Structure 1
Amino acid sequence: MLDVGDTAVTIEFGDGVDQRLLAAVAALDQAIARQVASGRAPGIVETVPTFRSLTVIYDPLRTTRSAIEAVVRAASESSQDAIPRVGRHWRLPVCYGDQNAACGPDLEALAAACALPSEEVLRLHSTTTYDVYMLGFLPGFAFMGDLPKVLAQPRRSEPRLRVPAGSVATAGTLTAIYPWESPGGWHLIGACPVPLFSPAWAQAALLQPGDRVSFRAVDAAEYRSLLDELAASRASPTPPDAFLVDAGAAR
């Protein structure tokens, strides 16, 4: 357990990105959430899961480092027998390639680097179901894996100063959707019209760790139609749950 200043601790489970570590992080996160809900862990403000660790943020005016350590120890013991939570399953539309301005300009180059036709890159990317490992970098930015190994390529040697919002991208064994315009060094292969973050929603980020995501290829006309249709959804109190395949349930 590592101290992160005087208001947080981080529990590390290992190195790398794999399903085993994801499951361990999720189990401890859920066990701590149960302790908070039962009133046995006062002072915990938030937990932040990542690929291989869990950070517990606490209020030092309401609790102590030693008390947090006791909570984590108890939660860790109970998480061994926890039933994994089944996350939600989303199916999001993607317009692949450069049909929409600068959203997918790297599809051909990525295909060449992988020694594949661009149609095969599109097929492999859109027929894989991905797990949301963690959120980071930008509000609503979900790191998803695992990309088919044949598509894994390092980040671009020269990042772009501007990546359009909605860009669907890959880097290494991961894929993601940029929720906002920002700099970025991932390979841009398409565009998704679905908003991924809004402070108007009860849960501001559409995708959450533990969720699963698959993609449906759409043409430019359907992409533009969906973009217009979903334009007002950021201001709506209800997220665009029309793309929810399965709401998930505890097993």
Structure 2
Amino acid sequence: MSDVVACAETVLVEALPGTGLNELGVRRVVHDLLASAVPDSDEGGSSVRSAIVIPVRYDGADLSSAADAAGCSTDRLVLAHTHLTWTVQFMGFAPGFGYLVPEDGSDPSLTAVFNGLPRREESRPRVPAGSVAVAAGYSAVYPRVSPGGWHLLGVTDTVLWDSTAAPPSVLSAGARVRFVRAEEVIG
């Protein structure tokens, strides 16, 4: 195999021609990966995989309009965003851009806030690096300046992509993320 790319509902497996990779071989690799995966919790129910904590200043350009579209107050939107543990479902769009979904078993009243929130009607040609955003049940942090059509809730100083670091991306598929109010971290 030359590469494996996890997506929202599929997995792309690339192989060099002539390597003899077939469906049975892919199934064996997936089975072995699942068998060796780190469990989400120990026998007592406490989390084994710690979450990446991302401090956020919730002052985004779309905070009020996103709350209105979700049918709640800005305080409720921020509370839902910070009280969920998010999981990187897959990476894409730009280097270091993780598509985060609420962790399995999350409080349905919190996840509902984001499930009905579509993308913005118009995309922005320039979203600043570090912008924390939501759309269509996902959350994300823009790792660098780029176009984007998600609702901007706030901004973080956490650098998610550094091409000189090893690994260059802070996030990876399966990573757990917690957003916290920046003022709670500082003071």
TM-score range, shorter chain: 0.7 to 0.9
**Displacement of 1:216:** 1.1
Matched-pair identity in %: 35
Alpha-carbon distance change, 55 to 121 in structure 1, aligned in 2, over 3 angstroms: same
Give the number of equivalent residue pairs: 167
Structure 2: which 5+ residue stretches go unaligned? 40-48, 103-109
**SS class of match (1:121):** helix
Within-5 A mapping of 1:22-41: none
Task: Tell me the distance in 1 between the aligned counterparts of 2:95 and 2:83.
Answer: 26
**Deviation by residue 1:90-111 (Cα, 9 ceiling, x = unmatched):** 11100001xxxxxx10000111
- In structure 1, what is the Cα distance between the partners aligned to 2:94 and 2:148? 11
Distance 1:212 1:76, change over 3 A: closer
TM-superposed deviation, 1:76: 4.3
For the structure 1 residues 77 and 180, does the alpha-carbon distance in structure 2 shift closer, same or farther, using more than 3 Å as the test?
A: closer
The aligned residue for residue 95 of structure 1 is 57
What is the CA distance between 1:74 and its match in structure 2? 2.4
- Among 171, 188, 201, the alignment partner of 2:135 is 171
Provide Cα deviations, 1:65-88, integer angstroms capped at 9, x if missing partner: x434342132345467x1532555
Secondary structure at 1:195 match in 2: coil
Change (3 A) 1:47 1:88: farther
Q: Quote how far apart the aligned CAs of 1:207 are.
A: 0.6
Shift of 1:200: 1.5
Cα distance change on mapping 1:83 and 1:77 into 2, 3 Å = closer
Q: Which has the higher helix share?
A: 1
Q: Which amino acid aligns with 2:29?
A: A
Residue number among 102, 108, 118 corresponding to 1:154 in the alignment:
118
CA deviations over 1:181-217 (Å, ceiling 9, x no partner) = 1111000000011111122222111111111000110
CA distance in 2, matches of 1:196, 1:135: 12
In 2, Cα distance between equivalents of 1:70 and 1:126? 42
Asked if the contact 2:120/2:150 (under 8 Å) is kept, the reply is yes
**Root mean square deviation, CA, Å:** 1.9
Instruction: Confirm or deny: 8 A CA contact 1:143 1:176 kept in the other structure.
Output: yes
In structure 1, the residue matched to 2:155 is 191
Q: Is the 8 A contact 1:88 1:210 kept in 2?
A: no
Q: After TM superposition, list the pairs within 5 Å mapping 1:9-88 onto structure 2.
A: 44-60=1-17, 63-64=18-19, 66-78=20-32, 82-86=35-39, 87-88=49-50
Pick closer, same or farther for the CA change 1:77–1:118 going to 2, 3 Å.
closer
TM superposition score normalised by structure 2: 0.81
Q: Which runs of 5+ in 1 are unaligned?
A: 1-43, 98-103, 223-251
TM-score by length of 1: 0.62
Give the structure, 1 or 2, with the largest relative contact order (CA under 8 Å, sep 6 or more).
2
Structure 1: how far apart are the matches of 2:74 and 2:130?
A: 20
